[in-house]
Amino acid sequence: MLYTFLYHQLYTRFAWAYDGVSWLVSLGRWASWRRVALDFVKGPDVLEVGFGTGELLSEMAGRGMAVTGLEASAAMHSITSRKLKRRQQSVERVQGFAQQLPFADGSFDTVLATFPAGFVTDSAAHREFARVLRPGGRLVFVDVALYTDNRLFRFAYGLAFPPKPKAATRFAEALDESGLHISRCIVGSGPVRVVVTLGEKAVADAAPV
């Protein structure tokens, strides 16, 4: 599939163009869409999965959060490393995959991913997210969806964000596998809105006195 090939190139050979392409396809709204995730962060210890070029990772660090980043792409790690160095920030980062998180059980208050990649439909990844969350912790996914019947707008949106057959079904099934309590909310107005999916981990029952 052409889109899958191009997407892979943006994370490898052409990673240097990712920020510009994201700005272009979102008409300059990519950063504000991504930043919505910060309104849903719970607790100080945060894991960002698939941090890409590190913009949100850097912003969270600037806000004093104890943030850790996980990203599979070596090219994205290189770009992020240069950004953090320019901004005189130090953030723990790990190269790895969502399906095998190299962290102990209950390590984080929040696990978040914005515009997540293919791992979002993988049940193994969701089980890992639930595992590394502390009791009462929160999973946060941020994506966008179209809310208009305008044919021209729908056509343009389809070019920028090609539909993925059965992806919504696989995403829902993977969420069910996590064992988290799932809820969703829509943020903003207009034809393209931010969709936030939340997964809450139950607080462990109090020990008997």
Q: What is the pLDDT of residues 142-162, one digit of tens each?
A: 998 877 666 766 656 565 666
- What the chain holds in terms of domains, given with CATH numbers, is 2-200 (3.40.50.150)
Q: Looking at residue 145, what is its pLDDT?
A: 80
Count CB-CB contacts under 10 A for residue 94: 14
Give the integer Cα–Cα distance in Å for 57 and 166. Answer: 30
**Average pLDDT score, the chain:** 86
Residue 2 has pLDDT above 50, yes or no: no
Strand partners, 47: 68, 111
pLDDT (mean) for 81-86: 95
User: Of 196, 96, 86, whose CA–CA distance to 141 is shortest?
Assistant: 196
Q: What is the pLDDT of residues 22-80, one digit of tens each?
A: 777 777 888 998 999 999 999 999 999 999 999 999 999 999 999 999 999 999 999 99
